[in-house]
A and B are shown apart, each in its own frame.
Chain A
Amino acid sequence: MSDLANIEQSIEGLLALPPYAMPPGQRHDALLPLLKQELAYACECKPSFRNYVDHWPADFRTAQSIADLPYLPAAMFKGDPPLALIASSQVTRTLTSSATGSQVPSRVVLDSITARRLTKGIVTIIRNFIGPARRPYLVVDTKENLAAQNELGARAAAIQALFPFATEAVCCLGQDRWGDSTLNLETLLHWVEEWKSAEVLVYGFTHVLWTRLVQPLQSQNIRLHLPNVHVLHSGGWKRLEQTVTKKEFSQEIAAVFGCPPERVIDYYGMVENVGVVYPDCEYGNKHVPAFAEVVVRDPLTLAPTMPGQQGLVQTCSVLPTSFPGFLVLTDDMAEIIGTDGCGCGRRGTYFRFARRVPKAEVRGCGNLETTRVSAASGSDL
């Protein structure tokens, strides 16, 4: 059996397990050798990746802990062409992050087997939070974002990832003549009327849900009476930081939908760690599934932090084999709450997201943002 076939078999084995039932030690013992195999495979596929791994201060083959393995900063996925372990002919889809403004988005490439595996990963996780049944699915977005495309943005990917839970999907946002998305109230109220007593699913990007659905409904004093809804949202709080706290957000959403606040579930995920999402449990903690791990690193030492100490989030996932996204150091800050024993009953590492890494606070005399050459070329415009 080839190395890749061995790896695939091991991943399938982990995906088949209940995601939050494995004791931490057992999980570590399962993940560490598999991650080493994946690193070795990536080194074979990509000489430049081998160059990086070979220069790591310690040999990954002798590592005793997942935290000792070489990790890639998430910014490495912003390159063009994307960092891939497959030939371009094998790429079936490229996922892009939701970078805004002048930010460069991250891009990861998927082949068909990785894509299937990533879907399976998300389904396994979400099922644990909302149950396995298929149900009517309201997408708080425009229908343009439902279309299958070769290059898929983070919003579209998140919407499509929940299709396995849907009997049918309806989008409740439309576009006005300036291209801005607006709430289609008629569509929304019709859908609510049709499914008001059923188990239903709603998903939207966090800021879209707030600005395009909740605020317009609040301004018209409309309540939706959907006691059996699960409202899932993701995409981060950056655009809402000054507007609403997370707690207020959940309460307001629950009030608008007419459901208990625990049915509003925020989850954390990113393109570079696609296939793994981290929904909040009823205790407000994010849990790591059996096929993944999260390490939080102290910025001063880059060593793993103690529970309760904030640091940089490193995600670990065995799922991708089309790109080297096994061990990714993100630009997010979080704290590990515990390594086992959350009150919700889910086993393994649990953590809380804190914030994005703030940009440099001190810009001193050594911070040159434009050179004379680039300034001069800018003035030619």
Chain B
Amino acid sequence: MSDLIQTEPCPCEIAQTVQRLRRHVLQQELSPGSILNVLEQWSAALDDRQLRHVSGIPFLRLWLRRGTLEPILLRELGPGALNGDWHENGHARLRPFPLGVVGHWPAANIEIQPILSLTCGLLGGNGCLVRVPGGLVEVTRLVMQKLWEVDRGGALIQRIAVVSFDHSRTDLHEAMARTVDGAMIWGGEEAVLRIRALPFAHWSRIAVFGPRLSVAAMDAGAWSNRKDRTAWCRRIARDVWQFDQQACSSPQTLFLERGSGCEPEEFVTDLRSAFQAENHSHPRTEIEPFRASAICQSRAAWLLASAENRAWFPHSPDWTILLGTGGDIPTPTQGRTLTVLLVDDLLEAVSRFDGAVQTLGLGVNDPRKDDALAQMAGRHGVDRVVRLGQMHVFGSPWDGVDLVRPMVRMVRHVRSQERETPLG
């Protein structure tokens, strides 16, 4: 158990590890059903007091359930995917096969991301080599330990290797890149650019997720409705709180459409209560000094910028609500700092988006407007349009890209001789 995560391996050890994983993938085919069985058991094992402090564990448990993953496999890999069968496609038949070994470079800001990325590779039948950022080693170890406990036959654990090394170890990043057949890269701009530039083999398939930012929006009917407003505010708070608002799917700005006759301050009063309640349930236990300083700066900059701007915040950096007008997304502060902007027309605000926006979280009463906003968002680079409260629900496609499909090869078989169709 001590070598669950190998720290600072040498380049040749990485090459040997990948060879071992590849050999295993070639020698032993694993049916999707058996993968799903182990993941289901892993999900159950994660219901552990030791893991309750880990942000995202409830979500990870849900993600690993058969009921979540089966529809994803069916949609991405087609009928027959659950049995590992070929499926007919005109004169041909199709079947997904693993790429081989997939290298995973998860971001450092989401505690469960190494596991999410890993499962995407496993579901395609691949061997997986995961490079875990230093700050996530302990959390990943705890979560992986549960897999080791349930996967007694070793069906999955023999396909997994987890390594950790400093981000500056270019030689080790290169050793991974040279030997893997596919890569799933997650993270900030600098990291993504650096990893994408590594010397991958020409056949390697690379899927990149991030960096992005996300936005919430509500029409007048939703935010002015006193009966439903409390629930909407709770959902927004939940989306803001998860991952300390540092995820690509975290809302940074909330657009409120004018036109209800209701004062925005009335809405903000409910939002403030929701923030206070969420903060009470999920208080911060640590913060980078840089982040605390940035939060103070965002409060001051907002209020000094215009005497019309308003804000609500406690003495601590726990949360911040900035209220103003305008359709441009301000530079995100993160750290539970939500900018609420009043606009005349949500469609006009969404029409200003570009590919930087990943998710649009909506609280909209008018279904036609919901559809129109999704249409507009899709045209302007947004990859996910979801209900408020579900902005972080990890699902396929993510960032407009399938999660399992990019790491499999869809093999097409056209038989050399026609078979007789059985009469029925």
A and B assemble together? yes
Question: Which residues of A line the B interface, CB within 8 A?
Answer: 47-52, 55, 57-58, 72-73, 75-76, 79, 83, 299-303, 311-312, 329, 331, 333, 357-373
B269 at interface by CB-CB < 8 Å: no
B307 touches A360 (CB 8 A): no
A73/B334 contact (C-beta < 8 A), A363-B190, A365-B187 known: no
Q: Restricting to B203-246, which residues have a CB under 8 Å from any CB of A?
A: 209-214, 243, 245-246
B284 at interface by CB-CB < 8 Å: yes
User: Which A-B residue pairs are the 7 nearest by beta carbons?
Assistant: A364-B109, A365-B210, A363-B188, A299-B292, A367-B188, A365-B248, A52-B303
User: What chain B residues lie within 8 Å of A52 (beta carbons)?
Assistant: 299-300, 303-304
* Whole-angstrom CA separation of A278 from B296 in the bound complex: 25
A333 touches B212 (CB 8 A): no
A361 touches B288 (CB 8 A): yes
A357 touches B290 (CB 8 A): yes
Task: Specify which of A58, A299, A367 lies most central, judged by the most chain B CB atoms within 10 Å of its CB.
Answer: A367
**Count: A-B pairs, CB below 8 Å:** 164
A366/B245 contact (C-beta < 8 A), A48-B306, A55-B310, A299-B317 known: yes
Which of A301, A311, A329 is the one whose CB lies under 8 Å from B316? A301
User: What chain A residues lie within 8 Å of B79 (beta carbons)?
Assistant: none
24 contacts between A and B (CB under 8 A): A47-B307, A48-B307, A51-B304, A51-B309, A73-B296, A300-B285, A301-B315, A302-B315, A311-B289, A361-B288, A364-B109, A364-B187, A364-B247, A365-B109, A365-B187, A366-B243, A367-B188, A367-B211, A368-B189, A368-B211, A368-B356, A370-B189, A371-B356, A372-B354
> Shortest distance in angstroms between B134's beta carbon and chain A's nearest beta carbon?
9
* Whole-angstrom CA separation of A103 from B250 in the bound complex: 28
> Shortest distance in angstroms between B187's beta carbon and chain A's nearest beta carbon?
5
User: What chain A residues lie within 8 Å of B354 (beta carbons)?
Assistant: 371-373
Q: A57-B313, A73-B297, A73-B300 are in contact. List 11 more A-B contacts (CB 8 A).
A: A48-B304, A52-B303, A76-B297, A300-B292, A357-B293, A358-B289, A362-B108, A362-B109, A365-B212, A367-B109, A369-B190
Chain B residue at smallest Cβ distance from A54: B303
> Shortest distance in angstroms between B377's beta carbon and chain A's nearest beta carbon?
15
> Shortest distance in angstroms between A97's beta carbon and chain B's nearest beta carbon?
16
* Whole-angstrom CA separation of A83 from B300 in the bound complex: 12
B84 at interface by CB-CB < 8 Å: no
Q: Restricting to B271-329, which residues have a CB under 8 Å from any CB of A?
A: 284-293, 296-297, 299-301, 303-307, 309-317
B314 touches A57 (CB 8 A): yes
A369 touches B288 (CB 8 A): no
B56 at interface by CB-CB < 8 Å: no
A366 touches B247 (CB 8 A): yes
> Shortest distance in angstroms between A73's beta carbon and chain B's nearest beta carbon?
4
B313 touches A366 (CB 8 A): no
> Shortest distance in angstroms between A36's beta carbon and chain B's nearest beta carbon?
17
B199 at interface by CB-CB < 8 Å: no
B293 touches A329 (CB 8 A): yes
Q: Is the interface of B mostly helix, strand, loop or mixed?
A: loop
Q: Is the interface of A mostly helix, strand, loop or mixed?
A: loop
User: What chain A residues lie within 8 Å of B30 (beta carbons)?
Assistant: none
B135 at interface by CB-CB < 8 Å: yes
B291 touches A360 (CB 8 A): yes
User: What chain B residues lie within 8 Å of A79 (beta carbons)?
Assistant: 304
User: What chain A residues lie within 8 Å of B285 (beta carbons)?
Assistant: 300
* Whole-angstrom CA separation of A51 from B187 in the bound complex: 37
* Whole-angstrom CA separation of A357 from B306 in the bound complex: 28
> Shortest distance in angstroms between B244's beta carbon and chain A's nearest beta carbon?
10
> Shortest distance in angstroms between B375's beta carbon and chain A's nearest beta carbon?
20
A366/B305 contact (C-beta < 8 A), A300-B316, A302-B315 known: no
Chain B residue at smallest Cβ distance from A302: B316
> Shortest distance in angstroms between A82's beta carbon and chain B's nearest beta carbon?
12
> Shortest distance in angstroms between A72's beta carbon and chain B's nearest beta carbon?
6
B309 touches A364 (CB 8 A): no
> Shortest distance in angstroms between B239's beta carbon and chain A's nearest beta carbon?
12
User: What chain B residues lie within 8 Å of A303 (beta carbons)?
Assistant: 315-316
User: What chain B residues lie within 8 Å of A333 (beta carbons)?
Assistant: 289
User: What chain A residues lie within 8 Å of B113 (beta carbons)?
Assistant: 365
Chain B residue at smallest Cβ distance from A300: B287
B110 at interface by CB-CB < 8 Å: yes
User: What chain A residues lie within 8 Å of B133 (beta carbons)?
Assistant: 362
* Whole-angstrom CA separation of A364 from B285 in the bound complex: 19
B255 at interface by CB-CB < 8 Å: no
> Shortest distance in angstroms between B133's beta carbon and chain A's nearest beta carbon?
8
Chain A residue at smallest Cβ distance from B190: A363
* Whole-angstrom CA separation of A45 from B187 in the bound complex: 45
* Whole-angstrom CA separation of A50 from B211 in the bound complex: 37
Chain B residue at smallest Cβ distance from A83: B304
B67 at interface by CB-CB < 8 Å: no
B334 touches A72 (CB 8 A): no
User: What chain A residues lie within 8 Å of B243 (beta carbons)?
Assistant: 366
A367 touches B189 (CB 8 A): yes
User: What chain A residues lie within 8 Å of B248 (beta carbons)?
Assistant: 364-366
User: What chain B residues lie within 8 Å of A362 (beta carbons)?
Assistant: 108-109, 133, 135, 246, 288
Task: Specify which of A52, A357, A361 lies most central, judged by the most chain B CB atoms within 10 Å of its CB.
Answer: A52
